Amino acid sequence: MQIQDLPYPDPGVPDARSGPRFLWWLFRNQLGGQLKSLAWGLLHFTSVAALPFCVGVAVQAVVDRSGTGLALAGGLLALACVGNAVGDTFLHRTAITNWITAAARVQQLLARKAAHLGSALTRRVAAGEVVAVSTGDVEKIGWFVEALSRFTAALVTIVLVCAGLLVYQPALGVVVAVGLPALALAVLPLLPRATRRADTQREKAGRATELASDTVAGLRVLRGIGGEELFLDRYRSASQEVRHAAVRSARMWSLISAIQVLLPGLLLIAVVWYGVRLAHEGRITVGELVAVYSSVMVLTYPLRHFEEIAMAYSFSRPSAKRAAGVLSLRRPTDTAGSRAAGVPSGDLYDPETGLLAPAGRLTAVVCGDPDTAGLLAERLGGHPSQEGASVLLGGVPLDELPLDSTRTAVLVQDKDPVLLSGTLRDLLDVPASGAVRPDQALAAAQCDDVLAALVQGSLDATDPMDARITERGRSLSGGQRQRLALARSLITDPETLVLDEPTSAVDSHTEARIAQGVRELREGRTTVVFTSSPLLLDRADRVVFLHDGEAVAVGAHRELVRTEPRYRAVVTRETDDEAAPNGSVALNDVLHELEEIEEKA
């Protein structure tokens, strides 16, 4: 896999049982690139390690006044320099390729998992954690996967040089062969502490990212209640904790780096001292002493890769653990599509609550608990956040269909839909049947004032479709965002559409017109609306009232208001004290208000 070939046609099925297993799975899936990196790394490191031998041959040729030896040394030196240049160039190329492709594979896996889980992902993992995993963590994972082949090349080179020195000059070779492993292993006792400090830093950084994300998402509300400074103080405190943790981690790694500089220096001193004694005794030549000394000095370069691989693993192991934790998440009722792909049609039925939405009709659902309503809406769309009986569409269990088929058959718009940044044309460019035009959907969702506001707030767009929407639609009001999201859902024209509180942020007159527009546009299609608004309920073909997780009453809105006290209490917001003496008064007020709004709409 090359960078220009990204993204992967299929990133594969990861081994997400643990962080190390996930790293090993990534390494195995990049074996070809790793072998290339290993080959070029061996060429590069062995060429660098050969330079001291060439220098030693040249020095000895000068001492012996040998022109042939000097020419041989020059030729070997030129060959080593060419090998060094070529090896270093292609090692860097393959290493960067391995890094980017590994990070891209992880990002694709995370994106696929997010699409598979849907809203259940953020219910089980904090949004800030997901962002941290898909940005900073993938880079650390890619770093370790890439550095592993370079470390292997450095290790093989050190072993070969030590073996060569034992053959070339046994007396000094023994010192080097014993000293180099000691240098490589000297930092091992410090690695667990360095790893713990790196984990602490990453954990605090994740919490700070989550806090920042929550603050930005709720900035409008914070300004309304004057809470900006409170949350800024919290973020300052969190960022200071991250800074302190980063300093403590850096201190440990600086100590490891200092050891990696100090100990090779001591080994050089030992080699020089012992080599001078051997040369004085006539047991080695000056050229051999220079070659051994230069070899030890040059070997400090591949030795640095021991520190790098330790640092890369320390940072990537917790990152891989978090990524594996996200990738190991499963949908509670995932049957991997045991039925053949297809888009069923018919009545939508939930056996757990007894809710039935007849095909081709507008069904309103009233539930006193908004959280319960949200969970039921997800279940109706085939995205349950907990185990239970599958919802049936035309008698077909949604959980047994492939996920694509389920999402084609049933579309769920939750109570807090997200608007992606871009033009309005981009926002409304969604998979659709083609039966509903954008202008029809916008008109049904009563978006005329939204279109005018978009054009007014744009510097260079005269066509509302070319006006840009900011991230998450932050420049729009809550009601404007709701209406644009509703228009987007209407354009898709699914066989079954589930709307969770689609008009909670709009005024009553606009809500009445939206109710009529949705009813007309969705004529002949199955539509389920979770709401407690009398305006929407009055436009529904049938209303289902849920109490304690069960459908306890079904009928027309005005009928249920008269006959079901619990339903009336939810719709009119009356308390228990008000219900008994004022029930008829509240009923008359509701009916009168409906009549007034119908006349004005």
pLDDT for the residue numbered 263:
80
pLDDT for the residue numbered 21:
92
Question: Which stretches within 186-227 are classed as H helix?
Answer: 191-217, 219-225
Number of neighbours of residue 49 by Cβ within 10 angstroms? 22
Contact yes or no for 569/556 (Cβ under 8 A): no
Query: C-alpha distances in angstroms, 102 versus 26, 60, 99, 275?
Result: 7, 48, 5, 46
This prediction has a pTM of 0.71
Distance between CA atoms of residues 534 and 590, nearest Å: 8
Distance between CA atoms of residues 89 and 395, nearest Å: 63
Which residues fall within 8 angstroms of residue 24, CB to CB, at 6 or more apart?
Answer: 15
Radius of gyration of the chain (CA): 35
Distance between CA atoms of residues 275 and 295, nearest Å: 13
Question: pLDDT below 50 — which residues of the chain?
Answer: 580-583, 585
Contact yes or no for 49/356 (Cβ under 8 A): no
Distance between CA atoms of residues 340 and 342, nearest Å: 6
Residue 206: alpha-carbon gap to chain centroid: 13
pLDDT for the residue numbered 26:
92
For 125-177, the pLDDT digits (tens) are 766 677 778 777 888 899 998 899 999 998 898 888 888 878 877 877 788 78
Distance between CA atoms of residues 308 and 92, nearest Å: 15
Distance between CA atoms of residues 457 and 464, nearest Å: 10
Query: C-alpha distances in angstroms, 362 versus 145, 495, 516, 550, 601?
Result: 54, 12, 11, 20, 20
As beta bridge partners, residue 496 has 410, 526
Q: How many CA atoms lie within 13 A of 230 on its CB side?
A: 8
pLDDT for the residue numbered 385:
66
pLDDT for the residue numbered 546:
93
Contact yes or no for 591/584 (Cβ under 8 A): no
Distance between CA atoms of residues 343 and 340, nearest Å: 10
Distance between CA atoms of residues 91 and 516, nearest Å: 66
**Pick from 451, 388, 171, 206: which is nearest to 292 by CA?**
171
pLDDT for the residue numbered 454:
85
For 292-304, the pLDDT digits (tens) are 777 777 777 787 8
